[in-house]
Amino acid sequence: MSKIAALCSSSKGNSVFVGDNSAGILIDVGCSYKMLKNSLELCGIPFEAIRAVLITHEHIDHVKGLYQLTKNTELPVYATAGTAEKLITDGRIYNENSLHDCSELSDIPIDVGVKYFHTPHDSAESAGYTLEFPDQRIACCTDLGVVTDEVRENVKGCRAVYIEANYDPLMLRDNPRYPYPTKQRIASDRGHLSNGDCGRFCGELTACGTTRIMLGHLSQENNTPQTAYNAVCEALAQRGMKCGVDYTLDVAPVVTDGRYIIL
């Protein structure tokens, strides 16, 4: 059975494995190569189960371990054209020959249909992904300031969704450590998704068949797992959805300790 394994999830590092213990796909490499292997082991997933790597965008919290991963393995790496160009110019990839454009996603060596969609974020060309396994369709959607029509069209209908709930607006507003321009960037249409906006989108998703939700990419400064969980539950309750009955909700750990939810 396909599962989502949140290997690390926060504003400091993000990496998600989607698949089963025999084969799957790694989305982003935001932790070190060593930590990636340790997190997979904690989740009971053999490192050899990774068959391909998908990169959402070039920010360091999503590609920190990519150089070492491509140095130590021959795994194919897929990214949009804009992201691929940044990975090369920023020196984030060891072997450029391992890098493939998202137009080649049909070549991934595993029985899964992968599609990408653009997400509005302050990067070269960020993307989210949907993965269609024989047993279910799963979406990974993080790093977006707003839910666009393109995002909505691609994520709706997925049975399981890994989605960003990055910040609580009041915590962000009152955070004395963040300068005002940074707060503006986070809350902008090319920043990150708030708990409330995430909850409202999850309401749309559950109405279209989503039954498994995992919240990820929580800010360690402007959010807490309980705050995000409560906000999404409240938004879904307003639509008459009951947690544990109409859907299940989990929160990826903020710390990099490895955790997964069986879907």
CATH number at residue 39: 3.60.15.10
Structural domain including 125 reads 3-262
What pTM, to 2 d.p., does this model score? 0.95
Q: What is the mean pLDDT of residues 7-25?
A: 93
Identify whether the C-beta of residue 211 lies closer than 8 Å to the C-beta of residue 159: yes
Residues 74-106: tens digit of each pLDDT = 999 999 999 999 999 999 999 899 999 999 999
- pLDDT confidence bin for 260, thresholds 50/70/90: very low
Task: Please give the pLDDT value at position 163.
Answer: 98
Phi, psi of 175 (to 5 degrees): -75, 110
Kindly list the distances between the CA atom of residue 35 and the CA atoms of 2, 14, 62, 125, 262, in Å, as whole numbers in the listed order: 22, 11, 14, 27, 21
Residues 130-188: tens digit of each pLDDT = 999 998 999 999 999 999 999 999 999 999 999 999 999 999 999 999 999 999 999 99
Residues 206-230: tens digit of each pLDDT = 999 999 999 999 999 999 999 999 9
What CA–CA distance (Å, rounded) separates 4 from 262? 7
Residue type, 104: E
Q: What is the mean pLDDT of residues 227-249?
A: 97
Long-range contacts of 133-141 (CB under 8 A, 24+ apart): 133/2, 133/19, 135/1, 135/2, 136/2, 136/160, 136/263, 138/2, 138/4, 138/18, 138/162, 138/263, 139/163, 140/4, 140/16, 140/18, 140/27, 140/54, 140/56
For residue 143, the SS3 value is coil
Total tally of structural domains belonging to the chain: 1
